[in-house]
Amino acid sequence: MAGSLNKVLLIGRLGADPEIKQMVNGKNVARLSLATSQSWKDRNSGEKKEKTEWHRIVVFNEGLVNVVQQYLKKGAQIYVEGQLTTRKWKDEQSGQDKYSTEVVIQGYNSSLTMLGGGSSGSGIQYDNNQSLSSNSDDTPQNSNDMDDEIPF
């Protein structure tokens, strides 16, 4: 479809340590829970208000999964660029179809950057248009396999 764009840009903090799972094809996938917040001052009461949104981030690039596993922990601040994807899965208990909307980091125009440096003292960035800038020797590979049957 000409004239369409599916791109998500988020800066937030991880709400939990990354979850690394193995897919049926043997490759690993990383799942992140990212919180973004906005705050404002209530006009009537003058009270400070805050609203937090939670985003599901899924990383398929094998090299980046290794970096995520090694360096990212709960509370880490990251910047991600990816695409929204909605996938369908079947709830094993009820047998009903369920849907999950996720930000997928895979393919071109996707990236993940650690912000604030953390304990390593410098950020780690992955951009599919460039190379992985970390200590990992793995080269990023794309995977379209989402048959892991494990919902969030």
| 69 within a domain of the structure (yes/no) | yes
The structure tokens 């193995």 sit at 22
Number of domains in the chain: 1
- β-pair partners for 49: 40
Q: Cβ neighbours of residue 145 under 8 Å, at least 6 residues apart?
A: 23, 24, 25, 27
What CATH number does residue 113 fall under? 2.40.50.140
Residue 109, Cβ density class (10 Å: 0-12 exposed, 13-18 middle, ≥19 buried): middle
pLDDT band at 29 (very low <50, low <70, confident <90, very high): very high
Structural domain boundaries, residue 56: 8-37+48-127
Whether 52 contacts 36, CB under 8 Å: yes
| 149 within a domain of the structure (yes/no) | no
| 140 within a domain of the structure (yes/no) | no
| 83 within a domain of the structure (yes/no) | yes
pLDDT band at 62 (very low <50, low <70, confident <90, very high): confident
| 135 within a domain of the structure (yes/no) | no
Pairing of strands 77-90, 111-115: antiparallel
| 145 within a domain of the structure (yes/no) | no
pTM (2 d.p.): 0.71
Rounded to 5 degrees, what angle do the CA atoms 17, 38, 70 make? Answer: 20
Q: Using one digit for the tens of pLDDT, what is the confidence trace for 93-107?
A: 999 999 999 999 987
